[in-house]
Chain A
Amino acid sequence: GESVGLHLPTLSVQEGDNSIINCAYSNSASDYFIWYKQESGKGPQFIIDIRSNMDKRQGQRVTVLLNKTVKHLSLQIAATQPGDSAVYFCAESGGGADGLTFGKGTHLIIQP
């Protein structure tokens, strides 16, 4: 079946730099996308979401970009901090179904 995937399993960035985490999806019916952060021993924590009628949405230090033409989603984290170290998942739903399809996750490592 169709699924959401991530390009890189691990991303290492310097503290203070910007981080960009990418995600590709294949389901053309997907119209709702969410980024989650998961720390060790915790459940996925909601970061930001975007609907398919938008191509950009900003939150506090985070921006999500959606390119429907190439079915690509990205999460930008500004001024990365040690507390941003976690596994980041993109997830999508669509076609009237609410159950989320998750990507495999990117482990963000912050270098001091």
Chain B
Amino acid sequence: DSGVTQTPKHLITATGQRVTLRCSPRSGDLSVYWYQQSLDQGLQFLIQYYNGEERAKGNILERFSAQQFPDLHSELNLSSLELGDSALYFCASSRETGYQPQHFGDGTRLSIL
């Protein structure tokens, strides 16, 4: 158990809809990362937050957004969903930024019908 909690584990929705994925980082971790894993693209970094502030963006679509709250939990919002957004979405956390191992949750599997 990594200590990173993601909910829900599975999500099934339709094209055009909007969903919110939630992540609770390990106790004491200030940095939260979101990744997408798909068969064709592999694991891709989306976005990072540190202590409530956005720190870095990766391959995140404009339809996607995230935030980190004062209690350090994070949410990833996906809107105007398309079939191609079907994937596993992982959250990871680390104590600080820099040379820190990132610890991953078990992901949310998003299926778009």
Q: Which residues of A contact B (CB under 8 A)?
A: 31-32, 34, 36, 41-46, 49, 51, 89, 91, 97-105
Contacts and interface: CB of A to CB of B under 8 A. Distances in A.
A82 B58 CA distance: 35
A34 B33 CA distance: 15
B58 A32 contact: no
Interface majority SS (helix, strand, loop, mixed), chain B? strand
Given A49-B99, A89-B43, A97-B56, 20 more contacts: A31-B99, A32-B99, A42-B106, A43-B90, A43-B104, A43-B106, A44-B90, A44-B104, A46-B102, A49-B101, A98-B31, A98-B94, A98-B98, A98-B100, A99-B45, A99-B48, A100-B33, A100-B45, A102-B42, A104-B42
B2 A99 contact: no
Interface residues of B, number: 27
Given A43-B90, A89-B43, A99 B104 contact: no
B25 interface: no
